[in-house]
Amino acid sequence: MAENETQSEPGEAGNAVIMPQKIYAKDMSFETPNSPAIFQKEWEPALSVEVGQTVTSLEEYVYEVILTLTATMKCGNIIAYLAEVHQAGIFTISGISKEKVDHILNVYCPRTLYPYACAAVTDLVARGGFPQLMLAPISFEAVYHQRQMEAESAESAL
């Protein structure tokens, strides 16, 4: 190392790091509770999608983010299938203010995991014998701001 160079620690100012370390499927589930009868019905699908996430600090600057994507397809009042994927990632985030870390964990990380979760759900649905499922993009930025506004109004109501 040259005399003027110094090695800085993660988290020091000017040394911002945002890096996915590992992306993996933590859990997957597919159910067709009304098969084979559902395959004999006229296909009139109604889709509902739920998205959730959890964040766990593994060590300083290292976080596990789990994006949960649940797709429930009904045909009339009958459940055709339920596909759920817990897509996870380990992210290193350092050299950034706590407010920005929160933003990264709630916007950048789920946005990174979402395409993997969508692909897994699509694969499960196809393997279950159903028509291809194409999930719409999600604005995690809008979801994050909505949660912030709800938290602020809940605080002001106290």
Cα–Cα distance, 109 to 93 (Å, whole number):
10
pLDDT at 147: 86
Q: Please determine, for residue 57, whether its predicted confidence score (pLDDT) is greater than 50.
A: yes
Domain extent listing, the chain? 17-146
Does the domain formed by 17-146 have CATH 3.10.420.10? yes
Report the range of poorest mean pLDDT among 11-15, 62-66, 151-155: 11-15
118 vs 10, more confident: 118
- Percent of the chain whose pLDDT exceeds 70: 91
| 89-139 pLDDT per residue, tens | 999 999 999 889 999 999 999 999 999 999 999 999 999 999 999 999 999
Mean pLDDT throughout 74-97? 96
Q: Is the pLDDT of residue 5 over 50?
A: no
Q: Say what the pLDDT of residue 155 is.
A: 77
Q: Coil, strand, or helix at residue 114?
A: helix
Q: Which of 99, 27, 120 is nearest to 66 (CA)?
A: 27
Q: Which tokens hold the place of 15?
A: 């040394």
**Given phi > 0 = left and psi -120 to 50 = alpha, else beta, which region is 114?**
alpha
Per the CB < 8 A criterion, the answer to whether 113 and 22 are in contact is: no
Q: Mean pLDDT, to the nearest integer, of 50-61?
A: 96
Q: Mean pLDDT for the chain?
A: 90
Strand extents, DSSP E, the chain: 17-31, 45-59, 62-75, 78-94
Checking if the pLDDT of 87 tops 80, the result is yes
DSSP state at residue 56: E
- pLDDT the model gives residue 4: 41
CA atoms of 110 and 155, how far apart (whole Å): 26
Structure tokens at 98: 């706590």
Mean pLDDT, range 28-35, rounded to an integer: 97
Reported as a pLDDT band with limits 50, 70 and 90, residue 31 is very high
